[in-house]
Structure 1
Amino acid sequence: MKNQTLSGKPADVEQYSKALLLGILLTIAILDHTRLFFHYWNTNPGNLESTTSVLFFTRFISHFFAPTVFFLSGTYLFKWSKDKSRQQVFYKMLMLAFILICIELVINNFLWTFDLQYRTIGLFIIGALGLSIFLLAFLQFIPKKFLLLFSILVLIGHHLLDGITLTGQSSSTILWSVLHQQKYIPAGERLFIINYTLIPWFAILSLGYAIGHLYQRKWLLATGIVLTSLFFILRGINIYGDFQPWAKQETFEKTILSFFSATKYPASTDFVFITLGPMFIVLHYIKGIKNKLTDFFVTFGSTPLFTYLISTLLIHLTAMIGLALSGKSWSVMVITPKSYITGNALSNYGYSLGIVYLLWLVFVFLLYMCCRFYRTYLLRK
């Protein structure tokens, strides 16, 4: 397929390339969510004793989605705030944060569980983005060079906090879990899941916001190369950057998997470098490219929140229908705290990765039709 240079204003080219990257990574995130609902339940792709290379990298490539969302959200917020007063930005950010947190708690949590009792409440990507924007509403008052320095120091140095762990269900434990310590907190019949901890994820958002005025193609490439190189250096030294260092395994293949198994929950320094670095490099090279294939991905990336939510609904609902058609109880796909315990009704449920990939392609096609219709509707308003 022949590429064409995207014509138009530089801002339009930049917006298109960002939507393109988001769209590509959204389709990869959809693959991982398909794996989660249709592959063998409670299978851990990072468990080197049981995983395969295909399963591992099916999960690994999805890691690029969340850091890209946070960084690009920061650049979008910077661009949006340029012609507004600090006070206007403050109140608008607070409103946006409130909306995202509500979407997380009310809509996204339900789409993941289909549990009307909301017995499982998670702080996932949308809620963490909302909390990060809430914090940015206050910190956007400081000079951007100091915010940039702060963001870099946090991303490099937050590994030093890994040794601080709190137990129990006290308010201090919950606060620290939200800030840095990924945790499952049982409370009676409910389970609270904190995956996206605030400290590293806010730093990625604030990094995008602080360098919005420096957003240039050459800068992207140089920074991407530096961050990717730092990952290999830190990972090679193996004494800093991740609280779970890699180790030599019984096979060379498993050793490679161990090397790339950077911790996402909470996001380690190694994880940040190996995701942001290649993302910057790709963003550099796709800028200005436009063809039918890129238009396909832009359809997803131009409405990322809608795409994310509708994809979760479609995947979860299809899994529930599949159980019913196979003669099993659809109700076991209502995710509760018991669903996370090995030996529950979902322990023997699942399909091979080949089936997962086929289902993913079907989902991507159906979602493309939905997103194209929704995007057309927005353009007509």
Structure 2
Amino acid sequence: MGVHPGILEATAEESARTGRIAFIDALRGLVMVLMLLDHLRETWFLHVPVADPMDARTAMPALYLARLAVSLCAPIFIVLTGVAAYLFSTRHTLGETRAYLVKRGLVLIAFEVFYLSELYWGVASPTLWLQVIWCIGVCMIVLAALIGLPRSFLLAVGMLLVCGHNLLDPIQLRPDDSFFAVWAMLHQRDVIALPFGLVAKTTYPVLPWIGVILLGYAIGPWFLPGVAAGTRERRFAAAGITMLAGFALLRLANGYGDKPWFVVDDSAMRTAMSFFALTKYPPSLLFLLLTLGIGALLLVVLERLGDRPAVAALAVFGGAPLFFYLLHLTVVRLLYHGAFAIWGATQNTVFGIDNYVWVVVWYAVLMPPLYFPTAWFSRLRASRRDLAWLKYL
């Protein structure tokens, strides 16, 4: 898939006008592209009875590896959201930055509740899925309330939430307990009963993710023009290696930070799968150490690669992440509903394909059709700075 010169020019122009950094967009684009694979798996492979794609004892290895790869998506995207908020604040007043974060956060929440929940089912649904877009929106609003505080304080709070939230795991509230709804949104993945027969599923409890966005904001100065590339790369290399070493030590100790791993008799592969099977909902300390550690090293690699075509192509996806997110989910779900209308259910009540290889085939086939509209939108946003609403997509 080649990169049209006009796209590179638009990307460069937008960088000059908005302070966008190409290798940040490239890393964000990489996780967006990985996200497509997971959403295709969720859409076309639902008929396969997989209770947990990370279950070391039962999960198909190919499915497990794909799920492990896409584990990078949410942590990297949310930490980069914090970085982007800091860079935005360097070009705007505190009031303007807060207003933008609140407005963008509300837009994200609205898309999750009023569009994506309905799109997923294709019919009016009594369930509101409070997933990653909702989570990012809440995190942005919380960040807006906190950014007037010293950056060192935000760093400390972020570290506390990321490293210490697993101490709260024993707290499990029931629907009839006081503050159940609040706790379900903060730290306990659960179902909240709402008026008029509606329910909300808190797929992404937000408390540890607030810590992640605060850490991203706190490291924002590392990306300022006055910081030499070599200095930034050494910082991220050191941070990445430190997080991965911390992950390895804590995981080997098999104590704090996630559920224990185990040995699977006569299967070194499944034992290794158990070692890397981590909790995402909400994200455990070990989950975040592994994914953010890898993300820090990927950032170093992408910056060193410079403006190579592959990096520029990823930057196109990462330069318009919400547009790509909404576009690919819409396309994938419409394809699913179309297939269901034509062929009906293949098992129980859902339509699906019978081999995971076809998920990968769909992934390869859909990438170019999704790339070109995203590139068009990137050019549009770069050329129409007079349309303020574009910055919210």
TM-score, with normalisation over the residues of structure 2? 0.85
* Segment of structure 1 superposing worse, 179-188 or 233-242: 179-188
Partner of 1:245: 260
| Structure 2 counterpart of 1:345, one-letter code | T
User: In structure 2, the residue corresponding to 1:147 is in which secondary structure?
Assistant: helix
Partner of 1:134: 141
| Structure 1 counterpart of 2:255, one-letter code | I
Q: Which of 349, 353, 371 in structure 2 is aligned with 1:350?
A: 353
Q: In 1, distance between residues paired with 2:322 and 2:311?
A: 19
Cα displacement string for residues 208-244 of structure 1 (whole angstroms, at most 9, x for unaligned residues): 11221134222111101101111111111011001x2
- Check whether the contact 2:55–2:277 (CA below 8 A) recurs between aligned residues: no
| Structure 1 counterpart of 2:289, one-letter code | F
Q: In 1, distance between residues paired with 2:104 and 2:307?
A: 31
User: In structure 2, the residue corresponding to 1:368 is in which secondary structure?
Assistant: helix
* Segment of structure 1 superposing worse, 169-178 or 258-267: 169-178
- Per-residue deviation, 1:189: 5.3
* Segment of structure 1 superposing worse, 36-45 or 299-308: 36-45
Go from structure 1 to structure 2 and tell me whether the alpha carbon gap of 1:292 and 1:87 turns closer, same or farther (over 3 Å shift): closer
Partner of 1:318: 335
User: In structure 2, the residue corresponding to 1:121 is in which secondary structure?
Assistant: strand
* Segment of structure 1 superposing worse, 165-174 or 72-81: 165-174
The sequence identity of aligned pairs, in percent, is 26
* Residue 373, structure 1, aligned to residue 376, structure 2: yes
Partner of 2:201: 193
Partner of 1:146: 153
Cα displacement string for residues 38-96 of structure 1 (whole angstroms, at most 9, x for unaligned residues): 11435231233321211101111111111111111111110111243333333332222
Q: Which of 175, 179, 198 in structure 2 is aligned with 1:168?
A: 175
Cα displacement string for residues 250-288 of structure 1 (whole angstroms, at most 9, x for unaligned residues): 321111111001100011001100100010001012104
User: In structure 2, the residue corresponding to 1:165 is in which secondary structure?
Assistant: coil
Partner of 2:88: 80
Go from structure 1 to structure 2 and tell me whether the alpha carbon gap of 1:368 and 1:92 turns closer, same or farther (over 3 Å shift): closer
Q: In 2, distance between residues paired with 1:198 and 1:50?
A: 29
- Check whether the contact 2:80–2:213 (CA below 8 A) recurs between aligned residues: yes
Q: 5+ residue gaps in structure 1?
A: 333-342
- Per-residue deviation, 1:169: 5.0
Partner of 1:178: 185
User: In structure 2, the residue corresponding to 1:287 is in which secondary structure?
Assistant: helix
- Per-residue deviation, 1:131: 0.7
Q: Which of 69, 80, 83 in structure 2 is aligned with 1:61?
A: 69
* Residue 275, structure 1, aligned to residue 291, structure 2: yes
Partner of 1:226: 242
- Check whether the contact 2:43–2:352 (CA below 8 A) recurs between aligned residues: no
- Per-residue deviation, 1:374: 2.0
Partner of 1:37: 43
- Check whether the contact 2:31–2:77 (CA below 8 A) recurs between aligned residues: no
- Per-residue deviation, 1:292: 2.0
Partner of 2:130: 123
Q: CA RMSD in A?
A: 2.5
Partner of 1:340: none
- Check whether the contact 1:177–1:197 (CA below 8 A) recurs between aligned residues: yes
- Per-residue deviation, 1:380: 3.1
- Check whether the contact 1:93–1:133 (CA below 8 A) recurs between aligned residues: yes
Cα displacement string for residues 299-318 of structure 1 (whole angstroms, at most 9, x for unaligned residues): 21110000011100111111
Partner of 2:23: 17
- Per-residue deviation, 1:378: 2.4
User: In structure 1, the residue corresponding to 2:135 is in which secondary structure?
Assistant: helix
Q: In 2, distance between residues paired with 1:259 and 1:345?
A: 34
TM-score, with normalisation over the residues of structure 1? 0.88
Cα displacement string for residues 135-166 of structure 1 (whole angstroms, at most 9, x for unaligned residues): 11111121111111111121111110111111
